[in-house]
Amino acid sequence: MKGMRSVGILATGSYTPEKVLTNADLEKMVETSDEWIVTRTGIRERRISSEEQASSDLAYEAAKKALAKANISADQLDMIIVATVTPDNMFPSTACLLQEKLGATKAAALDVSAACTGFLYGIAVGSQFIANGMYRYVLVIGVETLSKITNYEDRNTCVLFGDGAGAALLGPVADGFGFLAFELGADGSGGPLLSLPAGGSRIPASRESVEQKLHYISMAGSEVFKFAVRVMNTATETVLEKAGLAKEQIDLLVPHQANLRIIDSAIKRFGLSEEKVVVNLDRYGNMSSASIPVALDEALAEGRLKEGDNVVLVGFGGGLTWGATLLRWSTREA
């Protein structure tokens, strides 16, 4: 768009709790096995937050790292966007709590709720403020403490989820770099397939809602799986088309880390080598909105990204929602 600034990711940061919950640990809790979990999901272990840790605490650790790498102080931030389905409270927003923890006194703050697609929604929203010149620095964080809403008596869901936080500092970059295309989507008719039934205004907290275990994640696994395979591919194809690039020009794919079979379908669809795809769900499980930024931060730490690389971030989640972005990598501020 004429007069719009190019926006990219200037720095990243991530944090995962110390406690590790392995498949062997889960074998002692529910009727499952390491072989069953690995075969169906690719997950071997996940991180679990402590009783004292809330989402804002994890977000704070990831945010500090991103700001330090960019050599940006918290008081330079114009906006903080936190993507989460496990906020510290219904309100105030986790972004406001994080703003206070960081001392980012000049920053506007809001939460985004798009489940596992939350980080992608967050960077799509945040980048617009920079592109139009309203703000210069926007901090976007995907953070989840899913262990707090996971039923560890339900073997179909408890093996999947973990806790963590990933941060990205957005800012202006040179023309031709940064975000080249976004694709966001939603299908509310699929809302019941992946939800937290109670705790809102539809089913307020009550003795009955607690006894019926309605404050835990509810998921129709096979339906979500079919949806995920489809939209991961179509969303990626759409951003490639919008950016005018071919699948052969993808240098790195950073997918939502939910299930290895879903990621494998994308690898085959786009003819990518394993070196061009980031996979860490074996160590972290599904961290919802945190999975993409944590994977991106680890890829950077491993030297898998260089200036000018074409990077696709793609995910799906409850809502149902999906999203993707394609960016030409550069951390050099314009």
Q: What are the catalytic residues?
A: 116, 256, 286
Name the region of 285 (left: φ>0; alpha: ψ -120 to 50; beta: rest). left
Please provide residue 29's backbone torsions phi and psi, each rounded to the nearest 5 degrees.
-105, -35
What is the number of residues in the chain? 334
Residues 6+ apart with CB under 8 A from 21: 45, 46, 47, 48, 147, 162
At residue 300, the 3 state secondary structure works out as helix
**From CA 146, how far away is CA 160, in angstroms rounded?**
10
Distance of alpha carbon 108 from its chain centroid, rounded? Answer: 21
Phi, psi of 8, rounded to the nearest 5 degrees = -140, -175
Residue type, 218: S
The whole-angstrom separation of Cα 117 and Cα 135 is: 23
* Max Cα distance, the chain (Å): 60
